[in-house]
Amino acid sequence: MRSDRIADVIVALPADILASPPDYLRSARKRIELVAGGERRQDSVARAFARVPDSADLVVIHDAARPLVSQDLIARTLDAAAAHGAAIAALPATDTVKQSNREGVIIGTLPRSEIYLAQTPQAFRRRVLQDALASAHAGDATDEATLAERAGHPVHLVTGDARNVKVTTPDDLDAAERFLGRGHDPLTIRIGVGYDLHRLVAGRPLVLGGVRIPFEKGLLGHSDADAVCHAVTDAILGAAGAGDIGRHFPDTDPAWKDADSLVLLTRAAAIVRAGGFAVANVDVVVIAERPKLVPHLAGMCAALARALGVDDSRVSVKGKTNEGVGAEGAGDAIAVHAVALVARQS
């Protein structure tokens, strides 16, 4: 539609669609004429060709099932048709090509260098296409190039485009979406960031990453105040575009009073999976002047991995001091930063 080489567009549609064509045909940039198609491909082409303006010397035929055709491919095919009378886009075969009988037994190997996979566009000088369509009575043909060959016209090859896929199966549609950079979502890999901070107070157990750590103080909060789990929960929910911990487990809800934050993280991971994502990895930094966290890091990784449903190797937890700066440096609080990578599940 956007090619400046195309002046008029004629679309052959099934008769039952013609009365109420898709909106995108009604709102196209160029004038589009709609015609009822026939039982066979060549019948539909013949009906559309009958509406081609007399002033047109070159006619291009393209399958609607190939939505990703480029302007460059259209132009190159038109130029070749103008020079030679008929041209089609085609890709050289890259696999070894076998010929078999009806029983599925190989009866020959075809020379790969001579095999091309035809695409559209296929372009013709008006007279050549007229001769080709006149030969349609000789039998069915899967494309117009075959009819032109039967009519005695040489057809030249133009190097096609691997992106110019023909959408006939769900897998083809997935391939087209990938070429467009879409799939079911614009991005298949996404990153989320989490942060949490809690004050250290006497009379509370210290729980980090699901591990109870011996210390004279613990973190103050509505749940068990596990800042590591909270930061990781926010990171995975954020990566999946699923809100944050406060949205799913608000501290105004008595149900979460003194809750095990590993349980909350497990639920958050289920929300992420329900959204079509899998956790790829998580990286955590715990900022605490005291206690020393090194003896507990492996246990944190293991507990987080179980809650996330991933292998331990996909979870990293590191401990850092704040060099005596701020509430963390004074030993009055512990802060946690987390980054999560999630990937859309196929």
Render pLDDT for 183-206 as a digit per residue (tens, 0 to 9). Answer: 545 457 899 999 999 999 999 999
Q: Domain 9-179, what fold?
A: Spore Coat Polysaccharide Biosynthesis Protein SpsA; Chain A (3.90.550)
pLDDT tens digits for range 60-115: 999 999 999 999 999 999 999 999 999 999 999 999 999 999 999 999 999 999 99
Residue appearing with tokens 């901070």:
197
Query: Which two three-digit tokens encode residue 220?
Result: 């103050």
Whether the predicted pLDDT of 180 surpasses 60: yes
Show me where the domains of the chain are located. 9-179, 189-344
Phi, psi angle pair for 193, to nearest 5°: -120, 135
Whether the predicted pLDDT of 48 surpasses 90: yes
Residues 6+ apart with CB under 8 A from 237: 192, 243, 244, 245, 247, 248, 268, 271, 272
pLDDT band, very low/low/confident/very high, at 273 (cuts 50, 70, 90) = very high
Query: Which two three-digit tokens encode residue 241?
Result: 């575009």
pLDDT confidence of residue 44? 94
Which superfamily, per CATH, for 189-344?
Answer: 2-C-methyl-D-erythritol 2,4-cyclodiphosphate synthase (3.30.1330.50)
pLDDT confidence of residue 337? 98
pLDDT band, very low/low/confident/very high, at 344 (cuts 50, 70, 90) = confident
Mean pLDDT in the chain? 91
Whether the predicted pLDDT of 58 surpasses 70: yes
pLDDT confidence of residue 258? 87
Element (H, E) at 84: helix 71-84
pLDDT confidence of residue 159? 95
pLDDT confidence of residue 188? 78
pLDDT confidence of residue 293? 95
Query: Is the whole model's pTM more than 0.75, yes or no?
Result: no
